[in-house]
Amino acid sequence: MPIIEVRQLAKSYRVYNKREGLADSVRGLFRREYRDVKAVRGIDLDVEQGEFVAFLGPNGAGKTTTLKLLSGVINPTSGSASVMGFTPWHRKNEYRRRFALVMGQKNQLWWDLPAQESYRLHQQIYGVPVEEFDRTLAELTDLLDVAGLLSRPVRELSLGERMKMELIAALLHRPEVLFLDEPTIGLDVIAQHNIQQFLKYYQEKRKITILLTSHYMKDIAALCKRVVIIAGGRIEYDGSLAGVVDKFSGHKVMTLQFADGHQPDLSRLGEVLDETWPKVQLRVDRSDVPSVLSEVLRDNPIEDVAVEDIPLEEVIAELFRESSQKSDSEVG
């Protein structure tokens, strides 16, 4: 049985349409116009115990809203969800003790106090036995190499150090489900790598279930075998990262190395991406690759040839653009 079950979950917001100009502003004081913004549009999702699942999507796609719904921060407009047998927005204490939410752009630690003081408060709130708390804190600070930072005020820490402290706070009560919203946002490459390595090790060791949202492909590739692409409030894809290219890309990139001095016109065979003679890159429909390759090899002296998939980042970016245009047309 899945640890997370979501059925036709939807969330809409009523937003005030503010018009420009003094006359319209005054008129709006007495007669307001509103519109409904659909942040999540009837999604279905099952997540098994111990899975590490990535939510990938552009800004405004519905990723963070979905995590807020599953953690009980907000109520849905319609639909249902079950996490470990609990309905999240009922906000039962038994549920709150079994999950954690970390948002990369929000702090849960007291800004002017050392992190260790906030940790003691968490221990009291979650009712963690002292011995278990001390043991868990020692384990996490050792894994993240931050023992020397526990007594420093949070405001004096770097972004990477603060995120490590936020993760410790979230894991002190040993949650079974962890929701991570952009945990590496704003971090430098080294800090991102450290957070990735920690999350990978901890998830494999504890077998906890993690839902991660991120804009960074490196986060997704390093951590998650399963990817859920959400755009315009809808789930557009649910499967492996490698499967994204197969499903959404109808093209391949053909790189041809010609013999010196030979420069044929290849524009009729596909989209020319780069011409740095004697090397040329073509974007070709998948179904046309055999015939194009056969014609090129028959009519031209070729020294080298390579056929590759479109880079994953480009495929996803194109998917996001198409979903954004679709959402704009629906609003219009």
Residue with tokens 């890159």: 281
Question: Are 244 and 314 a contacting pair, CB within 8 Å?
Answer: no
- Do residues 84 and 72 touch, judged by C-beta distance below 8 A? no
**pLDDT digit string (tens) for the chain, length 332 residues:** 899 999 999 999 887 777 777 766 667 667 777 788 888 999 999 999 999 999 888 777 889 999 999 999 999 999 999 999 999 999 999 999 999 999 887 888 998 999 999 999 999 999 999 999 999 999 999 999 999 999 999 999 998 999 999 999 999 999 999 999 988 888 888 888 899 999 999 999 999 999 999 877 778 888 898 999 888 888 988 998 878 877 777 788 889 888 877 778 888 888 888 888 788 888 888 888 899 888 888 888 888 889 888 777 777 777 777 766 665 555 44
Say how far apart CA 167 and CA 149 lie, in whole Å: 14
Residue closest to 265 by CA, chosen among 277, 253, 252: 277
Q: How many CB atoms lie within 10 A of CB 219?
A: 23
**Residue 35, both tokens:** 């519109």
Q: Please give the helix or strand (H or E) that residue 218 lies within, else none.
A: helix 217-223
8-state DSSP, 219? H
Report the C-alpha gap between 171 and 202 in whole angstroms.
Answer: 10
pTM for this prediction: 0.80
Domains along the chain with CATH numbers: 4-245 (3.40.50.300), 250-309 (3.30.70)
